[in-house]
Structure 1
Amino acid sequence: MGKKVRVEHLSKIFGRRTQQALEQVKAGKSKQDILEETGATVGVHDVSFDVNEGEVFVIMGLSGSGKSTLIRLINRLIEPTSGEVYIDDQDVSKMSKEELREVRRTKMNMVFQNFGLFPQRTIQQNTEYGLEVRGVDKEERRKKAEAALDNSGLLSVKDQYPNQLSGGMQQRVGLARAIANDPEVLLMDEAFSALDPLIRKDMQDDLLDLQEKMQKTIIFITHDLNEALRIGDRIALMRDGEIMQIGTGEEILTHPANDFVREFTEDIDRSKVLTAENIMEPALTINVEADGPNVALQRMRKEEVSMLLAVDRKRYLKGSLTAEEALDARKNDKTLKEVLDKNVQKVEKDTLVTDIFNIIEGSAAPLAVVDDDDRVVGVIVRGSVIGAMTDTDTNDSEELKESQEADDKKGVNADA
């Protein structure tokens, strides 16, 4: 996967004494101090990141964090004070007006919060607008616009006008118009912020569905962490014009870079973000193609467990094996394959913790975690799920977790 967008040491200072303000930023002075001393406002300072082709990269932060300035620096609606922006290794910050106009027409489209539809044009005509500006002939732009409207479930309203549609429908048209232009990079600035919560969730679903089909490179601005976690492959969290941390939702929640990030994310329901891979433990396994019951029982004694996951030589999951089943195999001269339980419960490594809880709640046995090829990569015990679903900093939840883990990890009977 190649790098579609590269941002290198990008800064924007609003005001006249930009050089003095930049020097003060580098010296560690606050935005407020710089404003008072120079009259200049720090919009963005020394921001660097890459966006992969086909990635949804979310830039988020509170009001005044610099996120909207940053997205406008990427397509040069705002001129940078310093730094570079590359699209496919072309430096946007050094392009002539003509080159920049061509890039905006063919490579980058922007979807704004206020929809930006022309009230006097029909939905079809609005959707065709970008293609019309590019000089695409009438029949081709009609086909492309109708395909984009059909993808967004809007074909039936193509002859209506924007004021006949709800806010959610208007924003769908704005998205369809951007998609019709077939941009390589889609910039979305607080695109869903003005919508009611239920409509906003629908729009997020629409975006995810469209992205699955079209695999665009999307840079999405939001102030809503839940929205960022829901749609972003990676998230850049901003404060006072600087990036505090870049990572996946899981990385930011589980390994916050500093106190600001930790406080920003503390109210998030982690069970709706964390996955099996994040809470699993190394799996204790037995190779049923090579090992016998004595090896299995010896491993259980050593590890002080009463169950192992049964795998083959390539670690494909074959079932589970309890101490009782291993004893049965030893006493009755059976192979492990003959006695193992093939109905072991399993989850894929990207299964959400909130979904795992519903599976493991009524099960005494741990869950196997498998990759896309059904190979065992770990195991989950109830205590880990409970710990992820509660605030594990509290004593009560720690005690509950330890109690559950003790239940999950009972030792083998001495007769074994």
Structure 2
Amino acid sequence: MTDKLVVKNLFKVFGPDPDQAVELAKQGVAKDEIYRQTESVVAVNDVSLSVKERELFVVMGLSGSGKSTLIRCFNRLIDPTSGEILIDGESLTNAGEEELRQLRKNKMSMVFQHFALFPHKTVCENAEYGLKVRGISRRERREKAMAALEAVGLDAWADAYPDNLSGGMQQRVGLARGLAVDPEVLLMDEPFSALDPLIRREMQDELAGIQEKYKTTIIFITHDLHEALKLGDHIAIMKDGRFVQVGPPEEIVTAPADDYVSAFTHDVDRGRVLRAESVMEAPVTLQAGKDTASSALARMDEAGQDCLYVVDEKGQPAGYIRRAMLADLSGDTKITDVMESSYPRTDPDRLLFELYEQCAEGVPVAVQSEDGKFLGVVQPSQVFTELVSDETATESQDKAPAGAAQ
């Protein structure tokens, strides 16, 4: 996939001396010291990133980290002090007033934390507002707004007014308004943070399906790590205006860049983040039609394993053999005569917590692609290890920054 949004060395400074503040920031001077010297606040400090087409990119940080300022720079609701923002290779930072207006109307849309609905307009009229600004005909904008409302499950409420809707439903209207214009890039600034936990989870679940339908690139701001891990293809952890670490969810959890990131991940349910492909290993196998009980036992001893897969001539699993199944057999017994042909299997994207029952029998789970290719095995011991808390998590809890567990 190609890059949709690229940001290069972006700075945003609020205060009387932004140029001096940027120079000090480039020299590595701390944010507080820059303020003491210039009375200027560096809200975004040398941020660079690239977001692929149709990617859901999450920026996560505590209050005051600069994440909301950053996302407003992307559509220039806030003008950056320096740096470059490119959309489809074209500079947004150099765009003129009219060009910027057209870009906001036709390419970008934004969903805010607070719903900002027009109380005197119906749900449908709120959803079609962006289309009205574009000059779309009444009939066409009604059709597009209704399609967006259907996507968020509110088409039956099209002619109701916002006051008749719950907070969660109002936020769905805000999302529908953003989707109705069919944006190429959707900016979402903590859109679910004001919702009750149950409704919030429902909205998180719906967002993935909505993105698949609209094929939209989404930049999502949150202070909640669990939300970030659930939604993000990539996650950027932000602190004091900088990106501390950028990577896929599995990397953020398993290889935190520093103690600050570790503090965020200390209480994460790893089983709901890590996938089969992240812990699978190359399989030690036996050959159907060749290996015998004797050679199978030797292979097990060599590998230090008590259960091995048997593969056919194409390298695909035909079954498995346990050490106990070979007891009391003559050494020349063919393994195909005693192997178990029914075996646990999964796809590489399966979350580890979903493998728990399959691992209960102690048989490695075969990881196979959609076309049946044998990619590796997940050892039950590895799944059980990841599903329980370890001492490292407890130790890192003591280092957690204030509010990190939000």
Deviation at 1:239, TM superposition (A): 0.2
Matches of 2:329 and 2:102, distance apart in 1: 73
Instruction: Describe how 1:4-403 pairs up with structure 2 within 5 A.
Output: 4-288=4-288, 291=291, 293-323=293-323, 334=334, 336-361=335-360, 363-393=361-391
Contact (CA 8 Å) 2:293, 2:332: kept in 1 or not? no
- Pick which of 26-35 and 61-70 moved more: 26-35
When normalised by structure 1's length, the TM-score is 0.89
Deviation readout 1:23-67 (Å, 9 max, x if unpaired): 221222221111122100001011111101011000010001010
Distance 1:131 1:205 in 2: 26
Contact 2:59/2:221 (<8 A) preserved: yes
Query: Aligned partners of 1:185 and 1:289: how far apart in 2?
Result: 55
Deviation readout 1:312-361 (Å, 9 max, x if unpaired): 24432221023465678866764x43432111112222222222223323
- Distance in 1 (CA, whole Å) between partners of 2:31 and 2:4 is 31
2: CA distance, partners of 1:136 / 1:328: 80
- How far apart are 1:274 and its partner, in Å? 1.4
Q: Secondary structure at the match of 2:391?
A: coil
- Whether the 8 Å CA contact 1:328–1:339 is kept in 2: the answer is no
Q: Give the whole-Å Cα distance in 1 for the aligned partners of 2:104 and 2:14.
A: 24
Counterpart-to-counterpart distance in 2, 1:59 and 1:323:
49
Distance 1:17 1:237 in 2: 27
**Greater mean alpha carbon deviation, residues 22-31 or residues 299-308:** 299-308
In structure 1, distance between residues paired with 2:300 and 2:268: 38
Once residues 395 and 163 of structure 1 are traced to their aligned partners in structure 2, the CA distance between those partners, rounded to angstroms, is 45
RMSD between aligned alpha carbons? Answer: 2.1
Query: Is the Cα–Cα contact under 8 Å of residues 317 and 374 in structure 1 kept in the other structure?
Result: no
* Structure 1 pair 323–194 and aligned structure 2 pair: CA distance change class (3 A): closer
**Secondary structure of 1:93 counterpart:** coil
Q: How many percent identity over aligned positions?
A: 48
Q: Which residue of structure 1 aligns with residue 401 of structure 2?
A: none
8 Å CA contact retained: 2:127, 2:145: yes
Deviation at 1:383, TM superposition (A): 2.3
Residue 413 of structure 1 is matched in structure 2 by none
Q: 1:395 to 1:47 in 2, by over 3 A?
A: closer
Given the superposition, is the C-alpha separation of residues 212 and 338 from structure 1 closer, same or farther in structure 2, using an over 3 Å criterion? farther
Query: Which stretch of the first structure deviates more once superposed, 299-308 or 258-267?
Result: 299-308
**2: CA distance, partners of 1:316 / 1:92:** 51
Write the letter of the residue equivalent to 1:12: K
Distance 1:345 1:291, change over 3 A: same
Q: Which amino acid in 2 is paired with 1:373? A: D
Distance 1:95 1:289 in 2: 68
TM-score (norm. length: structure 2): 0.92
Q: Distance in 1 between matches of 2:386 and 2:331?
A: 41
* 3-state SS of paired residue (1:119): coil
Q: Which amino acid aligns with 1:42?
A: V
After superposition, what is the alpha-carbon deviation per residue over 1:109-161, rounded to whole angstroms, capped at 9, x for unaligned? Answer: 00011112111111111111111111111111111111111121111111111
* 3-state DSSP of counterpart to 1:377: strand
Instruction: Work out the CA distance in 2 between the residues paired with 1:293 and 1:358.
Output: 29
Query: 1: distance between equivalents of 2:18 and 2:290?
Result: 71
Indicate how the Cα distance of structure 1 residues 314 and 51 shifts in structure 2: closer, same or farther if over 3 A, else same: farther
Please give the alpha-carbon distance, in whole angstroms, between the structure 2 residues aligned to 1:144 and 1:296: 63
Unpaired segments ≥5 residues, structure 1? 397-416
CA 275–93 in structure 1, closer or farther in 2 if over 3 Å, else same = same
* Kept after mapping to 2: 8 A contact 1:329/1:339: no
How big is each residue's C-alpha offset from its partner over 1:210-232, in whole Å with a ceiling of 9 and x where there is no partner? 11222210000000001101111
Counterpart amino acid of residue 83 in structure 1: G
